[in-house]
Amino acid sequence: PPYPILLEGTVQRGYGRGSKDLGCPTANLPDESLPDMADKVEPGVYYGYAQVLPSQENESKLRPEDHQVWPMAMSLGWNPFYKNERMSAEVHIMHDFPDDFYGHHMKVVVLGYVRPQLDYTSREALIEDIETDKKVALTSMARPAYQTYTSHTFFHSN
């Protein structure tokens, strides 16, 4: 089985395609962090855990609790910027951060698959599906067998 899949990298600036407007900001992982996963799995929405590490170089208002391990929902898709030759990974962390964390190191443990990538005809339909994705992720991550991953050494070593 491919899971868990471990990914990490510096949070990149995206196209700012208004995911904050959709109520769902997504932290983008660098493309270099991906080949590992693109080989193993298909595009779609996944769930798991993520952790944003403290950063000395980047000013932000993050508090100690913001650096815990939180449930996440991730979209893995083809990146149009690279003529769809590369995958891109965008991670929505289920936690209310007081500030952006661009430039911070992020660790992600992918634990399961939610659904394939779909085309949406309306913004409302997309927003509705994103809400469903978040519920699926939260429900899954509440299971004791998954919660053990919050103490995975990956999250607790440098």
Catalytic residues: 90
25 makes contact with ligand ADP (CB under 6 A)? yes
Residue 92 touches which of Mg ion, ligand ADP, none (Cβ within 5-8 Å per kind) = ligand ADP
| Residue selected from 67, 86, 95, 105 as contacting ligand ADP according to rule CB under 6 A | 95
Structure letter (DSSP) for residue 12: B
Nearest to 41 by CA among 69, 96, 4, 70: 4
Taking the complex as a whole, the smallest distance from the CB of residue 63 to ligand ADP amounts, in Å, to: 13
Q: Which is nearer to ligand ADP, 13 or 83 (CB)?
A: 13
User: Which residue from 3, 30, 55, 97 is in contact with ligand ADP, where contact means CB under 6 A?
Assistant: 97
Q: How far apart are CA 38 and CA 140, in angstroms?
A: 23
Give the nearest distance from C-beta 3 to ligand ADP in angstroms.
21
Beta carbons of 104 and 12 less than 8 angstroms apart = no
Q: Rule CB under 6 A: choose which of 19, 51, 75, 88 binds ligand ADP.
A: 19
Q: Is 8 a binder of ligand ADP (CB under 6 A)?
A: no
Query: Helix (H, G, I), strand (E, B), or coil: what is residue 100?
Result: coil
* Cα distance between residue 68 and residue 136, in whole Å: 20
In order of 27, 45, 51, 101, the CA distances from 132 in angstroms are: 19, 11, 22, 25
**Chain positions contacting ligand ADP, by CB under 6 A:** 11, 13-17, 19-20, 25-28, 92-93, 95, 97, 100-102
